[in-house]
Chains A and B, each alone.
Chain A
Amino acid sequence: MERIADRKELIAKLQNEILSIQGFHTSMEGQQVHFGWGDIEQAFPNKIFPQGAIHELISNTLEDMAATTGFMAALAGRMMQKGGLVFWISKAKMVFPPALKQFGVDPDKVIFITVKNQKNLLWMIEQALKCPALTAVVGEITELSLVESRRLQLAVEQSQVTGLLHRILPRTIANTASVARWKITSLANDVTDELPGLRFGRWNVELIKIRNGRPGKWQVQWSAGKFEHLTTPAHKTATRLSHIA
């Protein structure tokens, strides 16, 4: 029995070493942010949201784009709890700054950069990702090749900045070097109870790919500044919220 325990310990240790070689630093205690997202966090390597990595978020419609923007803002808001600045680099300014506040981001701590030129856009995202003084960089970009993503991933492994690449209406989704790939879509609320008015916003959060983690699918709702998991799919009649159960 003792030997088995030893072996398990050894494997865990080796796994951690491999992770740290791949850019997941576990030793930086102060940097880690526990998101308090319950199930979603189980999917991450070491059960901690991988900061200092490139996350890809894919949206195929304008509506998805809004949902993804909200999700990114929520991620950035968590990371900015201790302060810091975020760069939001895009080709056209779509985001309405005051709305970021409800996701925990102080809109005055976001610097919006609007670049017309596609080539410069990628250059700017890379430069921003190389700047360790930033907390996170949001880049709205359509196409991303393997080589480009590799460059960006290498940049963040040095600087430990978190890169959120929002891929809006991408034509192809090729293999990239990013650590995680998400897809956020809006989820219809249950309105059978005949109560008037709008409910909280609900999202289908899909983690399509995560390096050294377990991909998964969750249904969450954003209320009072945090995520709440929905235990059963929202479109079924008996909807229960996990925090109630």
Chain B
Amino acid sequence: MAIWFRHLLTDRWTLQMPELKGKPFVLAAPERGRMKITATSPAAEMQGIECGMAVADARSILPALMTFDHKPGLAATILNTLAEWCIRYSPIVSVDMPNGLMIDITGCAHLWGGERPYFKDIVFKLNDFGYSVRAAISNTIGVSWAVSRYGKVTPIIHPGQEAETLATLPPAGLRLEPSILEQMRKLGFHKISDFMSMPRSILSRRFGKQLLNRLDQAMGQAVEPINPVFPVEPCQERLPGFEPIRSAKGIEIALQKLLNKLCKRLELERKGVKKVIFKCFRVDGALEQIEIGTTSASCNAEHLFKLLQLKIGTIKPALGIELFLLEAPVVEDIQRPQSALWNLSGNSDLVPIGELLDQMISREEADIAHRYLPDEHHWPERSYVATSSLQDKPASSWRTDKPRPVILLQSPELIEVTAPIPDYPPLLFRYKNKIHKIRSADGPERIEQEWWIEDGLHRDYYCVEDQDGARYWIFRAGHYGEHNPRWFLHGFFA
């Protein structure tokens, strides 16, 4: 059975925005410098607007035409969802790009009381959704396809009638390439019957192997495989209790059992969870749930248990829990730890460290762990960048040519200074009501503001040591003269 969605994309838009119903609108994508129509609504099609036209041409036909952006890949997603929905009719459903579905109905139709009720059920349900569809049932994929698109009489073709049905249809029904169709139009082949009975060698010489192959497939003389859709099996484990469970220990046992089952399955699939939801259905109908996330995909039951265990205390069992459900909505392929990248010593391993981080993050429930890599900026606050991966390696080396303080204040603090003349370090400065006499100093090191990131004054940094041997990193913002120079303390050297 072939199903043809006549206006797949525009129907979808109408479903999402009901106010578009009955109005002419198109979806367009830029191609070679102009907007080209990729899908039209039924109302626009009535006005003579077709796919492949330029939006500007269409506007001249219909000035009130609405245009929306074409989203690549949308058709495939919709068709996949629809295909998964169609699995209720047959276990073998495949997506037929760009706008159709193919269902193998062998042995399924009698469950609906024959092919006609079966056919009606599917078409009416899809029409109810808001998709205008045409469908056809026949013995072969080729004939079903042709009849659903070009058939005019009956959509259900009985065995043995393939040839005569096909004969009345245009050559486009054979799923041929546009260049071949154009050639046929020039030669005056308007129906398949015009060339169906010609000798095969002539057709092959004139139009290539494809035509013969398509004809054979339609007649059932050549094999045409069907590529069925496999729905994703949800990562979920259930555990009903014999009696309502009320104790924390009981919940722990249930959780452990479910985790072991889930992790065993994931291990076989070489996958790991990034998010786990543990749901407890209570006797009184309420739902208690806890969830955790991990920094890297994990299928280690013990580790996941530790993470969830921290939150078991928040579950209120009340009268008892009768059903436990463990869901893993986010699953990823597990990366084998690449310890070589980090040059870890023998007793080190990234896995326990990642697990430790997960525990810490889930405890604090905030973004608390950071690793930093060098960033190529002179401006001190921008000289490093945070990364969330344990495996990223620095792209450039850490710079040590300029002195940098071990402690850097989050924001520089204003200080009062006594400075002799421009470009000399100050003689003394006052910070937090304490006067520091400067005994030796280095500098200035001028660091310019990166104008493409932020506006601001440049900084002239000095490293200074006071009478107690404490070392500070201070700077003057801007030039003398032009601005009122202000001095700041920015860091402490070790």
Known: A73-B494, A95-B406. A102 touches B393 (CB 8 A): no
Bound state CA distance, A201 and B440, in angstroms? 12
For the complex, is A120 an interface residue (Cβ under 8 Å from B)? yes
B404 touching A62, Cβ below 8 Å:
no
Residue among A62, A70, A98, A191 making CB contact with B398, cutoff 8 Å: A98
| Interchain CB contact under 8 A, B357 and A65 | no
Q: Which of A10-18, A130-138, A205-213 contacts B (4 or more CB under 8 A)?
A: A130-138
B394 at the interface (CB under 8 A from A): yes
Residue of A116, A124, A199 touching B440 (CB-CB under 8 A):
A199
Minimum distance in angstroms from A194 CB to a CB of chain B: 10
A115 lies within 8 A of B364 (CB): yes
The reply to whether B404 and A96 contact each other, CB–CB distance below 8 Å, is yes
Contact A187 B469 (CB under 8 A): yes
Asked if A141 lies at the interface with its beta carbon under 8 angstroms from chain B, I say no
Task: Determine whether B383 belongs to the interface, using a CB cutoff of 8 Å to chain A.
Answer: yes
In the bound complex, residues from chain A placing their C-beta under 8 Å from that of B407 are 62, 65-66, 69, 94-96
In whole angstroms, what is the CA distance A133 to B352 when docked? Answer: 7
Known: A66-B407, A108-B394. A222 touches B494 (CB 8 A): yes
A108 and B394 CA atoms in complex are apart in Å by 7
Interface with A: B249-257, B311-319, B372-380, which one? B372-380
> What CA separation (Å) do A70 and B493 show in the bound complex?
8
B344, B370, B471, B494: the one contacting A83 at CB < 8 Å is B344
Please judge, given known A-B contacts A187-B469, A202-B469, whether A83 and B440 are in contact too, CB under 8 Å: no
Tell me which of A67, A110, A123, A222 contacts B371 (CB under 8 A).
Answer: A110
Q: Tell me whether A96 and B406 are in contact (CB under 8 A).
A: yes
Q: Which residues of chain A come closer than 8 Å to B400, judged between CB atoms?
A: 101-102
Q: How long is the Cα–Cα vector from A96 to B406 in the complex, in angstroms?
A: 5
Contact of B348 among A99, A127, A135, A222 (CB under 8 A): A135
In angstroms, how far is the closest chain A Cβ from the Cβ of B430? 15
Interface size class of A (residues with CB under 8 A): 35 or more
Output the least CB separation between A240 and chain B (Å). Answer: 18
Residues of B within 8 A of A84 (CB): 344-345, 348
Q: Which residues of B are found within 8 Å of A115, using beta-carbon distances? A: 364, 368
A128: interface (CB < 8 Å):
yes
Counting chain B residues whose Cβ lies within 8 A of the other chain, the interface size class is 35 or more
| Residue A39 at the chain B interface, CB threshold 8 Å | no
Q: Nearest CB to that of B354 among chain A residues?
A: A133
B371 in contact with A71 (CB, 8 Å): no
On whether the beta carbons of A196 and B492 are closer than 8 Å, the reply is no
> Which A residues are in CB contact (< 8 Å) with B406?
66, 69-70, 73, 95-96, 99-100, 103
B266 CB–A CB distance under 8 Å = no
Given the interface pairs A66-B405, A70-B406, A84-B345, the reply to whether A186 lies near B468 with Cβ below 8 Å is yes
Residues of B within 8 A of A111 (CB): 353, 357, 369-371
B369–A189 touching, CB < 8 Å? no
Cβ of B343 and Cβ of A83 under 8 Å apart?
Answer: yes
**What separation, in Å, do the CA atoms of A114 and B441 have in the docked complex?**
33
A85 at the A/B interface (Cβ < 8 Å)?
A: yes
Known contacts A115-B368, A124-B363, A133-B347; A201 and B471 CB within 8 A of each other: yes
A188 touches B468 (CB 8 A): yes
**Docked complex Cα distance between A134 and B347 (Å):** 8
Q: How far is the CB of B4 from chain A (nearest CB, A)?
A: 57
**Is B491 part of the binding interface, using a Cβ–Cβ cutoff of 8 Å?**
yes
B362 to chain A, nearest CB (A): 11
What does the 1/0 interface line of B450-482 toward A look like (CB < 8 Å)? 000000000000011101111100000000000
State the CA gap A69–B494 with chains docked (Å).
7
Taken together as a complex, chains A and B put the C-alpha atoms of A123 and B368 apart, in Å, by 14
Residues of chain B with a CB closer than 8 A to A172's CB: none
Which has the most chain B C-beta neighbours within 10 Å: A108, A113, A134? A108
Interface of A is mostly: mixed
A107 is an interface residue with CB less than 8 A from chain B: yes
Instruction: State whether the Cβ of A171 lies closer than 8 Å to any Cβ in chain B.
Output: no
A127 and B394 CA atoms in complex are apart in Å by: 27
In the assembled complex, A97 has its CB within 8 A of some CB on chain B: yes
Query: Is A94 in contact with B408, judged by CB distance below 8 angstroms?
Result: yes
CB-nearest residue of chain B to A235: B469
For residue A109, CB closer than 8 A to chain B, the reply is yes
Which residues of B have CB within 8 Å of A201?
471, 493-494
B206 to chain A, nearest CB (A): 67
Selected from B359, B370, B393, B403, the residue in CB contact (under 8 A) with A114 is B370
The interface residues of chain B lying within 8 Å CB-to-CB of A135 are 345, 348
Across-interface contacts of A117 in B (CB, < 8 A): 364
A residues in contact with B491, CB < 8 Å:
96
In the complex, the answer to whether A197 meets B442 with C-beta atoms within 8 Å is yes
- Collect the chain A residues with CB atoms within 8 Å of residue B352's CB: 131-133
Contact of A108 among B353, B373, B471 (CB under 8 A): B373
Among B356, B398, B469, residue most surrounded by chain A Cβ atoms (within 10 Å)? B469
Given known pairs A66-B493, A70-B494, A100-B406, the reply for A112 and B370 (CB within 8 Å) is yes
Point out the residues of chain A lying under 8 angstroms from B464, CB to CB: 198
User: Is B129 engaged at the interface, CB distance under 8 Å to the other chain?
Assistant: no
Q: In angstroms, how far is the closest chain B Cβ from the Cβ of A119?
A: 10
* Docked complex: A33-89 residues within 8 A CB-CB of B: 62-63, 65-67, 69-71, 73, 82-85
Closest chain A residue, CB of each to CB of B374: A98
B325 close to A (CB within 8 Å): no
Residue in B closest to A69 when the chains form the complex, CB atoms: B406
Separation of A82 and B344 alpha carbons in the complex (Å) = 8
10 residue pairs, one from A and one from B, having the closest CB atoms:
A70-B494, A66-B492, A188-B469, A96-B408, A63-B470, A83-B345, A101-B398, A198-B442, A186-B469, A99-B404
- Contacts A94-B409, A132-B352, A197-B440 known; list 15 others, CB within 8 Å: A30-B346, A66-B471, A93-B370, A97-B384, A99-B406, A108-B392, A115-B368, A116-B364, A116-B366, A133-B356, A134-B353, A135-B345, A188-B465, A198-B463, A198-B465
28 contacts between A and B (CB under 8 A): A62-B492, A66-B405, A66-B406, A66-B471, A67-B470, A69-B406, A70-B493, A73-B494, A85-B353, A93-B410, A94-B407, A95-B408, A99-B405, A99-B494, A106-B398, A107-B372, A107-B384, A108-B374, A115-B364, A127-B360, A131-B356, A133-B348, A188-B467, A198-B403, A198-B464, A198-B465, A199-B465, A222-B494
